[in-house]
Amino acid sequence: MLRSLSLLVGITLAAPAFSNCLTANETKQGVLLTREVPFYSVFYKPNGPGLTEQRLMERNHSLQPVSAVYLHPLLVEKRVGVTTQELKYANAISLDDLPQKKNWQSDTTLFLNGKESVSGTTSIRFDGWGEETIAFCSYKVWIINSRLELTGLPPIIFEQYYSPELRLVLRSVRLTPSNQPMNEVRFDRFEIGWGN
C-alpha cells in the first residue's frame, strides 16, 4: 500500500495532461484524475461492475491517503482511511438504468471497523443529462442526487456528474441539507493507467 501511494504521489506531481480524450476502452486500464488546488488525486480501476479507488488529498497541509471499493461507480461499499467504514445495502444494486427508473433506494447499515454502527437509507435520483469537461475534453453525464441518511447523523448529500460511457464520476458537489453547495471536486487533468 505504501509503495502504491508513493507511486501515486510521483505520478500526480509529474504526469502531464493527456492530449487525447478518454475512451471507455482506456478506462479499463485505470484512470488517474487530478485537481491541482487544493491538491486531490484519485486513481479509479474497474472491478467487475464496480470500481476500486485510491485517493490522495490535501488536508491540514498534509497528504492523506484513502482507499475505497464501489459496488457501482455511484455506490461506495467500503472506505479505508483513519477508520474503516463499510455500508451494507438491503436492495439489489441496479443503477445502470437509472435514467429510465429515475430513483433507486435501499435500507443501509453502516459498519465502523467491522462493528455494526447505525442504519438508515440510501437514495439515488436521476436529475437529468449534462456535460462535464476535463482537460478540454467534454463528456455526456448523468446529473445525480445521492443521499445517505443514517439515524442520528446529518444527511450526506452529493450532486454527482457521472459518465455512463466511462463509468466514472467526473465531478462531485457536497450539498447542505438545504441543497446549498459546501465543497466541490472538479478535475484539471487525467492520466490513463498506473504502474503496478
Q: What range does the domain containing 28 cover?
A: 2-192
pLDDT (tens place) for every residue of the chain, 196 residues total: 434 444 344 433 434 444 589 999 999 889 999 999 888 899 999 988 889 999 887 777 777 788 999 999 999 999 998 899 999 999 988 899 999 999 999 999 999 999 999 999 999 999 999 999 998 899 999 999 999 999 999 999 999 999 999 999 999 999 999 989 999 999 999 998 764 3
Could you tell me the CATH number of the domain that includes residue 152? 2.40.360
pLDDT at 1 (0 to 100): 42
CA 33/CA 5 separation, integer angstroms: 14
Phi and psi at residue 105, to the nearest 5°: -145, 150
**Count of structural domains, the chain:** 1
